[in-house]
Amino acid sequence: MKFEILTDLTTEGTTVMIDGKNVGDKRKVASISFFADAPNKKYSDDGYMSLSVMSFDDEGNIKQERYGHDKDINENIKPIGISDNVTFEQSDVVRFLGDAIDAEKVKLVDSILKLSAEKKLVCPERDTLLNRSIESLRDKAADLGLTSAEA
């Protein structure tokens, strides 16, 4: 199998390809983890590489796929930050990897930033706002006094 992680270090510009096929075309990718450990003198193995992809299918079911040389490790290892008692739902994800940003969200964020600058108010950075849900952005706009026509 051939794996490629393509990224420009943005959410929408990050994809994983397996054998030339974009994983995000058939599933909503929530997380990609890659680990590579070169062979070293302390261990007798030949190094370790692993790729883990967490995604959701159309019904919202989570799928965790792990790829690596050692099949036992693939089945039993969990990426850093994932534990058995953590529940992760599709509704927890604001935007999936490889997805473009909603045009309504961009317009709303730009309106919030413009009004905040005009009123000289402290406001989160653009990328931080873009990662909020649309409902959160609408609340922020309402707090600033923006009407739906202005946003």
114 and 82: one domain?
no
Q: Which domain holds residue 119?
A: 103-144
User: What is the per-residue pLDDT for 43?
Assistant: 67
71 and 14: one domain?
yes
User: What is the per-residue pLDDT for 60?
Assistant: 83
User: What is the per-residue pLDDT for 12?
Assistant: 84
SS3 category, 75: helix
Q: For residues 101, 98, 139 and 146, what is the CA-based torsion angle, rounded to 10 degrees? A: -10
121 and 83: one domain?
no
Establish if 151 belongs to a structural domain.
no
pLDDT averages per 10-residue partition of the chain, 151 residues: 91 91 90 86 76 87 82 63 62 77 84 90 85 84 74 53
24 and 71: one domain?
yes
User: What is the per-residue pLDDT for 18?
Assistant: 93
Alpha helices for 1-151 (secondary structure H): 71-76, 103-118, 126-130, 134-144
User: What is the per-residue pLDDT for 72?
Assistant: 67
Establish if 130 belongs to a structural domain.
yes
User: What is the per-residue pLDDT for 4?
Assistant: 93
User: What is the per-residue pLDDT for 44?
Assistant: 66
32 and 83: one domain?
yes
Return the ∠ at Cα 60 (arms to 59 and 62), rounded to 5°: 125
Return the ∠ at Cα 86 (arms to 81 and 92), rounded to 5°: 90
pTM, two decimal places: 0.64
User: What is the per-residue pLDDT for 103?
Assistant: 80
